[in-house]
Chains A and B, each alone.
Chain A
Amino acid sequence: MELVNIALKGIFVENMIFAYFLGICSYLAVSKTVKTATGLGAAVIFVLGVTVPVNWLLENYVLKEGALSWLGPDFAETDLSFLAFIMFIAVVAAIVQLVEMLVEKFAPALYGALGIFLPLIAVNCSILGGALFMQERQYSTIAEATVFAVSSGIGWFIAIVAIAAIREKIKYSHIPAPLKGLGITFIITGLMGIAFMSFSGISL
């Protein structure tokens, strides 16, 4: 039940884009057509689902205060949490590189679909944001962290596919010239954010 709750929260209530604006740079840049948006969205789910559990292990067995106690009593009070940023981003960059190579080798068809988006994702705020929220909210088991990661990814996917679909249609509308492109996309995202706010407070 707890897991379902985390999943619902990740997808709707605390949607990465509409509640925290994470990964909104690539959200704006790659949402011109539904096809590319789907590709990037799938890549984000995938990378979040891999990196957050790894960072959870890192956080709980290396970085947190007392996390190193498995090395012996001398390490029981070591607190490396100030290293979190550099470790998380290194893990994200390394895993993205690794995933890119593995996918290219073993699933060329998937690589054709995701290929160009994977390197972009290392600097997508939502990936590092996922790791930092995981740290801040202190999920107690790796299952919770994984469910959180995948559902946040799904939320991000829904958001980017929705905006891409709207942008494809709105291309033919008459809007004031200075608002064309970027401006109107901001306003639509804001309206969608207000719509998503109606989910707030829902929990099982």
Chain B
Amino acid sequence: MSEKVKEPLFSKKNKKLVTDPLSENNPVTVQVLGICSALAITVSIEQAVVMSASVLFVVALGNVVVSLMRNLIPDRIRIIVQLVAAASLVIIVDQILKAFVPDVAAKLSVFVGLIITNCILMGRYEAFAMGNKPWPSFLDGIGNSLGYGWLLIVVSIFRELFGTGKLLGKEIFGNAIDQTGLYGMGYMNNNLIILAPFALFCVAIVIWVQRSINKNLIEH
């Protein structure tokens, strides 16, 4: 194996695999994948970060595993094989979360398990890892889960700040009970923001902004 023939690890093509899903081809706002969890767990930044990290782990490693087995998997049962690969990785994540951050794991409840049916996973396994080598698949997994992660974190910052007046548990606007800071001047938290429907409005606003900037993405 000579160095000249080998493609450099971070060639232009490979870099594109990571950067593309961040905006142009974002899994949530453009491909419409993985919405379920994106909406349900964006109440606090902590949950969003833990969820993004879990998805990053499962998508990147799962992509490598599926890509390594791509020539062995019979076509007819590929969905089940992919599901089993995903489920095994999710069990690992679930056990790690329960051991090290039990309080966050309890808040995420069924949504850790639901990473298995997160469409980003199946979408990437099916569309990319089944037809590509392990290294590009790994980068593709990283790119897509980062694209998913930034959206989650943006939405959760907004919801936590205006819903509870806190960021990562720190009081930004003052204390609501003692009436200090902004609360002393009559500011109140908007409780609607931490309820489920508002997550949908947040994502819709992100989509609106993104499509106003990038006109190619507008649907007709």
Chain A residues near B (Cβ < 8 Å):
18-25, 28-29, 82-86, 88-90, 93-94, 97, 119, 122-125, 127-129, 132-133, 136, 176-184, 186-187, 189-191, 193-194, 197
Out of B32, B113, B118, B200, name the residue touching A193 (CB < 8 Å): B200
Contact A93 B200 (CB under 8 A): no
Instruction: Pick out which of these stretches binds chain A: B66-74, B164-172, B190-198.
Output: B190-198
Q: Give the distance in Å from the alpha carbon of A186 to the alpha carbon of B132 in the complex.
A: 33
> Distance in Å from the Cβ of A171 to the closest Cβ of chain B?
11
Main secondary structure of the interface of A (DSSP, over half): helix
Contact B122 A193 (CB under 8 A): no
The 4 closest A-B pairs by CB, nearest first: A181-B219, A193-B197, A178-B211, A190-B200
Contact A82 B91 (CB under 8 A): yes
Residue of A nearest to B220 (CB): A180
Q: Give the distance in Å from the alpha carbon of A186 to the alpha carbon of B39 in the complex.
A: 11
Main secondary structure of the interface of B (DSSP, over half): helix
Q: List 7 A-B contacts (CB under 8 A).
A: A132-B113, A132-B114, A133-B110, A177-B211, A186-B203, A190-B198, A194-B197
Q: Is B104 an interface residue (CB 8 A)?
A: no
Q: Is B180 an interface residue (CB 8 A)?
A: no
Contact B208 A125 (CB under 8 A): no
Q: Give the distance in Å from the alpha carbon of A55 to the alpha carbon of B114 in the complex.
A: 15
Given A85-B90, A178-B212, A180-B218, verify A123-B79 contact (CB < 8 Å): yes
Residue of A nearest to B217 (CB): A178
> Distance in Å from the Cβ of B123 to the closest Cβ of chain A?
9
Q: Is B116 an interface residue (CB 8 A)?
A: yes
Number of interface residues of B (CB under 8 A): 47
Out of A83, A125, A176, A190, name the residue touching B114 (CB < 8 Å): A125
Instruction: Pick out which of these stretches binds chain A: B3-11, B14-22, B47-55, B80-88.
Output: B80-88
Out of B32, B40, B117, name the residue touching A182 (CB < 8 Å): B32
> Distance in Å from the Cβ of A145 to the closest Cβ of chain B?
15
Given A85-B87, A123-B117, verify A187-B40 contact (CB < 8 Å): no
> Distance in Å from the Cβ of A139 to the closest Cβ of chain B?
15
Residue of A nearest to B81 (CB): A93
Chain A residues contacting B182 (CB-CB under 8 Å) are: none
Contact A128 B36 (CB under 8 A): no
Contact A21 B87 (CB under 8 A): no
Out of B37, B117, B218, B219, name the residue touching A89 (CB < 8 Å): B117
Q: Is B94 an interface residue (CB 8 A)?
A: yes
Most chain A beta-carbon neighbours within 10 Å: one of B90, B109, B114:
B114
Q: Give the distance in Å from the alpha carbon of A186 to the alpha carbon of B197 in the complex.
A: 9
- With A21-B39, A190-B200 known, 10 other A-B pairs at CB within 8 A are A18-B196, A25-B119, A29-B32, A82-B94, A123-B122, A125-B114, A179-B211, A186-B201, A189-B197, A193-B196
Q: Give the distance in Å from the alpha carbon of A127 to the alpha carbon of B116 in the complex.
A: 12
Out of A88, A124, A187, name the residue touching B204 (CB < 8 Å): A187
Q: Which of B117-160 contact A (CB under 8 A)?
A: 117-119, 122
Given A25-B34, A182-B219, verify A197-B207 contact (CB < 8 Å): no
Q: Is B176 an interface residue (CB 8 A)?
A: no
Given A82-B91, A86-B91, A125-B114, verify A93-B83 contact (CB < 8 Å): yes
